Amino acid sequence: MFCKNCGKEIDDKASICINCGVSTHSINSTNDNGGFGWNILGCCIPIVGLILYLVWKDTKPKSAKAAGLGALISVTCIIVFYIFMFLIGFIAS
């Protein structure tokens, strides 16, 4: 097999590339598709979206961005809603 970091040939059973020192397990195990589900989860539960963003920002940047964006959209909608309700209450009185 070949190392996905440096491209050199390594043993199939190797857990670390002897050329660059990168773990072969971490290279093969990352599943970073940035799915829409993470965006929805971050939007429904903003604190979870924020936590997932902070945990995944280095290892899974696409999924982290999706979860963080969902949380940001949710918080922005809540702030806009409260500003709108404040203005309606101010105008009505």
Q: What tens digit of pLDDT does each residue of 8-36 get?
A: 888 888 888 888 888 876 544 457 887 88
Burial of residue 72 (number of CB atoms within 10 Å: 0-12, 13-18, 19+): middle
- Out of 9-18, 36-45, 83-92, least confident range: 9-18
- Hey, what long-range contacts does 41-46 have (CB within 8 A, 24 or more apart)? 41/67, 41/70, 42/66, 42/67, 42/68, 42/69, 42/70, 42/71, 42/72, 42/73, 42/74, 43/70, 43/71, 43/73, 43/74, 44/70, 44/74, 46/70, 46/71, 46/74, 46/75
Instruction: Report residue 39's pLDDT band, with 50, 70 and 90 as the boundaries.
Output: very high
Residue 77 in this model has a pLDDT that exceeds 60: yes
Please give the single-letter amino acid code of residue 59.
T
Predicted TM-score (pTM) of this structure: 0.64
Residue 51 in this model has a pLDDT that exceeds 90: yes
CA dist., res. 67 & res. 74, Å (int): 11
| Domains in the chain: boundaries | 1-30, 33-92
